[in-house]
Chains A and B, each alone.
Chain A
Amino acid sequence: MKRRDWLRNAITAPVGAAAVAAAGAAAQQQAVAQTPPPTNSDTPKLTLTSIDALGAPNRERFFAAAEFQALETLAKVLVPAYNGRPGAVEAGVPEFLDFLLSQSPADRQELYREGLSQLVAAGFSTLDAAGQKKFLAPLEEPWTFAGPKDPLARFLRAAKDDVVQATFNSRDWAASSKTRNSGGTSYYYFTIE
């Protein structure tokens, strides 16, 4: 389901609830002569919606425009839309990573900045498929625990992990799956005073 469709559903859903509320108001008018006593069931149970459901947030602009463009291209190449499921760009991953990196520890920011600046310098976004493949060759090397030494290769590995996870954990990815919870559902613990 696209974000737009989702929002439409969200907007249309409460019609039933509104009808109930209207009926309640009518009942209240009839009972106007008598003030109802307070009940013990006054604690509200409200249905709430998470911020993420509102759709694409403003970009933080942690990355400069050229860096962001390179990140967007990279995200698209790493996880393209495929087999009826959204790719990284459809899942808002470049914007999400721009935000995540804006809050990340300095060494992580440095890794991304350096990596993306190499992509920008190489004109990654304008390369043809063969050129991009050559650039991304480190990702076709066998996995090792220690990882590569070369900073560009290290950046590419980090970006692949992040782009894949951010796509798979997205609302759009979940919406495109048959079970609708492919990113996983779990107990969230609130802050305890």
Chain B
Amino acid sequence: MKTDYEVLIVGSGAAGGMAAYTLTKLGVKCLMLDAGPVIDFERHRTLKPVYDLPYRGFGRPGRFPHVTQASEFDANIWLDEKQNPYTYAPDEPYYWVRIRSLGGKTTRWGRASWRLSDYEFKCKDHDGHGENWPIAYKDLAPFYDRVEPIFRVSGRKEGFAQIPDGVFLPDESTDSTSVQRFLASCKKLNVPTTKQRRSTGTLASSVNLLLPDALATGNLTIVPNAIVREIVPDRKTGLASKVRFIDRVSKREYEIPAGRAVVVGASALESVRLLLNSGEMGNSSGTLGRYLFDQFYVKNVVTAVVPEAKGGQAARGLMGGGGYIPRFRNLAKNEKRKFIRGYAYDFGSGGTPSPRLISAYGEPLLKQLNELTGTAFGMTTMGEVLPRYENRCVINKEVQDAWGVPALHISHVYTDNEFEMAKDSMEVAESLCKGAGFEVLSKHWEMVPPGESIHELGGCRMGSDPKKSVLNGYNQLHDVKNVYVTDGSSFVSGGAQNPTLTILALSMRAAENIAERMKRKEI
């Protein structure tokens, strides 16, 4: 039996993968349990044209009521929603997007890699709302510095305080003329812009960038198909002493020692679910499951057309490329708006507008589609969501997954601060496009349902006050000193930046803290 591990890690995505990478390099023996199977990228996929799929690319109807990102091509790698149910009130839809396989969602992520700043870490100091994190940007900066090279993040240094610069593969790419026109329009309106910051490579996942190195140390054992259902505390010490898991395939139950410490990195909502199912472990504050948030997305807030590209007439270099607009609202303390905090945009040039945006059918539709081929300029808003006490998840005792593990009930709604921000983002996007001489084809400010941005955060937040938070500044449970939660559930606020780079940095920092404390015999 494999029992020589010192740290048991739950999950193998960004959080679990980085914990394993860091701990094993420090000589700590780790056991990693992941609920899912392993995708073999050679054997498990093949190129196919869409017409060879049984549903012509529509997918089996009703298979993924909440995963709008799933296509018929990749349907088999998303979590089966029937086997893994969760609930919400009928008028509060929540789109929980999950992948259960080795590497978690990092096998599919879009790789946008942004740092948070003290606008997030010290948000309360800035506008009085919510809580500060127990750490500041300077505490995490050295870890971002080490994570970016591992993930080969490319980007351009700009000196913007709201998205601190990092250790980038320099992005020297030139901009197409349509993008140049757009950048000039942004400049006129004092809206900052930069290149995307992205992890690069054909795959930029825990499975190729973290786990191989961790295995190479000889200190890591990975066990897939192990669904952890409960962490069991020792009756006397209160410390985690055992972990119960279920074999995904046979449904047989197992119980193993917890080792000296447990790292929970099952993704934000799953980690909270696991703690709730472990007798509400770590919940003396009553905040476990509370202060859930994410980022709201207004997909295609504006779709515009670059008129000079119509009818296939685009000059070479007119179309293509894109970029990012970081938060620019409420950076000054005295800005008076209908909302606090701010939003960011992704923008891109090229492609053809969706037929549904064209108010025509029949020949006129087909003619217009020909005319508009390759002319589109699109923008998507990503907005900060305020963490609220009322937005929470609890265990729904009536519902269990296919393995008998009690499911989550999620209550998460957006409120006026987000709505006002979304409206503002539509107006600004429209004026930026018009300023560039583009024709606006459609605009709207309807955000996708909570959850759909796949950036679920909070529920197990950090804090210096154990009465108001679950974790301390090192992602360690205030209540149970040998349990760390290192994924997005630990966030106190999230800004508009995609969260994974921060999850990686937090997990690295927490793992080093575990190793130090183990050395000092504090764990």
Interface of A with B (CB < 8 Å)? 50-53, 77-80, 82-83, 96, 100, 103-105, 108, 136, 139-146, 157, 160-162, 164-166, 169-171, 173-174, 181, 183-193
Contact = CB atoms under 8 A, between A and B. Distances in A.
B54 interface: yes
Contacts of A144: 444
Given A82-B363, A189-B45, A170 B56 contact: yes
Secondary structure call for the B interface: loop
B53 interface: yes
The interface centre, meaning the residue of A141, A171, A174, A189 with most chain B CB atoms within 10 A of its CB, is: A189
Contact of B50 (A79, A100, A169, A191): A169
A103 B50 contact: no
Contact of A141 (B44, B62, B359): B359
The interface centre, meaning the residue of B46, B359, B361 with most chain A CB atoms within 10 A of its CB, is: B361
Contact of A189 (B74, B356, B370, B444): B74
Nearest to A159: B361
B361 A136 contact: yes
Contact of A160 (B58, B355, B366, B444): B355
A108 B99 CA distance: 27
B50 A189 contact: no
A3 to B, nearest CB: 12
Nearest to A156: B361
A143 B359 CA distance: 6
Given A161-B356, A187-B47, A169 B361 contact: no
A185 B54 contact: no
A78 B361 contact: yes
Contacts of A190: 43-46, 76
Given A142-B359, A143-B356, A183 B74 contact: no
Interface in B18-73: 37-39, 43-58, 60-62, 65, 71, 73
A191 to B, nearest CB: 5
B357 interface: yes
B362 A80 contact: yes
Interface in B249-270: 249
Interface residues of B, number: 46
B370 A83 contact: yes
B216 interface: no
23 contacts: A51-B54, A52-B54, A77-B361, A82-B366, A100-B55, A100-B58, A105-B62, A139-B359, A141-B359, A143-B357, A143-B358, A145-B444, A160-B361, A165-B58, A166-B56, A171-B49, A183-B50, A185-B49, A186-B47, A187-B73, A188-B47, A189-B44, A189-B73
B73 A186 contact: yes
B200 interface: no
B359 A52 contact: no
Given A146-B446, A187-B46, A171 B355 contact: no
A166 B57 CA distance: 8
A129 B53 CA distance: 35
Contact of A103 (B57, B60, B74, B444): B60
A139 B360 contact: yes
Contact of B46 (A105, A166, A188, A192): A188
Nearest to B442: A143
B37 A193 contact: yes
B101 interface: yes
Given A51-B54, A143-B359, 19 more contacts: A52-B54, A78-B362, A104-B62, A141-B359, A145-B444, A160-B355, A160-B356, A171-B52, A183-B49, A183-B50, A184-B49, A184-B57, A185-B49, A186-B71, A187-B47, A187-B48, A189-B74, A189-B75, A190-B43
B53 A188 contact: yes
Given A157-B356, A186-B73, A192-B37, A171 B51 contact: yes
A164 B362 CA distance: 10
Contacts of B360: 139-140
B73 A174 contact: no
Contact of A83 (B56, B101, B366): B366
A162 B356 CA distance: 10
B77 interface: yes
